[in-house]
Structure 1
Amino acid sequence: MDYPKKILLFGATGSIGTYITEELVKSSSNFDRIGIFTSRSTVESKGDLTQGLKDKGVNIIVGDIKNENDVAAAYQDFDTVVSAVGRGAIVEQIELIRLAEESGTIKWFFPSEYGTDIEYGPESASEKPHQGKLKVRAYFDSSVKRMSHTYLVTGPYPEFYIRSVPGLPNVGGFDVKKKEAVLLGDGEGKVSFTAMPDVGKLLVAALLSPEASQNKALKVNSFTATPKEILAEFEKQTGASWKASYVPLEKLKREEEKSWKEGSPSATSFTLKRIWTEGGTLYEKRDNDLIKPVELKTLEQVVQEGLANA
Structure 2
Amino acid sequence: MADSASSVAKSKNILFFGATGTIGRPILEQVIKNKSLFGRLVIFTAPGGDQAKQSLLQGWKTKGLEIIEGDISSEKQVLAAFEGIDTVLSALGRTAIAAQIPLIRLAESHPSIYRFIPSEFGTDIKFGPSSANEKPHQEKLKVRAILEATKKLDYTYIVTGPFADGYLSNNSRDPRIGTWDVKARTVVLLGTGKEKVALTTMRDVGKLTVAVLKHPDVSSKRALKVKSFVTTPDEILAEFQRQTQTEGKWNVSYSSLETLKQLEAEAWASKVPPATFYTLRRIWTEGATLYDQWDNDDIQPEKLDTLEDAVKLAIEQQV
Bin for the TM-score computed over the shorter chain: over 0.9
Query: Deviation digits for residues 188-233 of structure 1, max 9, x if unmatched?
Result: 0000011000111100100000010110101110001100000000
Q: Does 1:303 align with 2:311?
A: yes
Q: Indicate the SS of the match to 1:186.
A: coil
Distance 2:237 2:148 in 1: 42
1:231 to 221, 229, 237: 237
- Kindly state the Cα deviation for residue 114 of structure 1 after the two structures are TM-superposed: 0.6
TM-score by length of 1: 0.97
Please tell me whether the aligned partners of residues 43 and 50 of structure 1 are also in contact (alpha carbons under 8 angstroms): no
Query: Deviation digits for residues 2-44 of structure 1, max 9, x if unmatched?
Result: 1111011001111100011111111110011111111211487
Q: Does 1:70 align with 2:103?
A: no
Q: Indicate the SS of the match to 1:46.
A: helix
Task: Structure 1: state its 5+ residue gaps.
Answer: none
Q: Does 1:264 align with 2:294?
A: no
Distance 2:39 2:139 in 1: 32
Distance 1:194 1:103 in 2: 34
RMSD across aligned positions (CA):
1.2
Distance 1:7 1:29 in 2: 13
Q: How does 1:143-154 map to 2 (within 5 A)?
A: 144-154=150-160
Q: Does 1:122 align with 2:132?
A: no
Distance 1:258 1:94 in 2: 31
Please tell me whether the aligned partners of residues 111 and 150 of structure 1 are also in contact (alpha carbons under 8 angstroms): yes
TM-score by length of 2: 0.94
Q: How does 1:160-199 map to 2 (within 5 A)?
A: 160-166=166-172, 168-199=174-205
Please tell me whether the aligned partners of residues 81 and 110 of structure 1 are also in contact (alpha carbons under 8 angstroms): yes
Larger mean CA deviation between 38-47 and 267-276 belongs to 38-47
- Kindly state the Cα deviation for residue 174 of structure 1 after the two structures are TM-superposed: 1.1
Q: Indicate the SS of the match to 2:227.
A: coil
Once the two structures are aligned, what percentage of the paired residues are identical? 51
Distance 1:51 1:158 in 2: 29
1:280 to 265, 274, 288: 288
Amino acid at match of 2:299: I
Please tell me whether the aligned partners of residues 79 and 106 of structure 2 are also in contact (alpha carbons under 8 angstroms): yes
Q: Indicate the SS of the match to 2:48.
A: helix
Q: 1:87: which partner in 2?
A: 94
Count of residue correspondences = 309
2:228 to 202, 210, 222: 222
Task: Structure 2: state its 5+ residue gaps.
Answer: 1-7
Q: Indicate the SS of the match to 1:133.
A: helix
Please tell me whether the aligned partners of residues 64 and 70 of structure 1 are also in contact (alpha carbons under 8 angstroms): yes
Q: Indicate the SS of the match to 1:156.
A: coil
Q: 2:108: which partner in 1?
A: 101
Distance 2:173 2:90 in 1: 32
Please tell me whether the aligned partners of residues 14 and 42 of structure 2 are also in contact (alpha carbons under 8 angstroms): yes
Query: Deviation digits for residues 116-174 of structure 1, max 9, x if unmatched?
Result: 010111100010111110110111223x1111011000000011112232252211111
Q: Indicate the SS of the match to 2:79.
A: helix
4+ aligned runs moved over 4 Å, structure 1: none
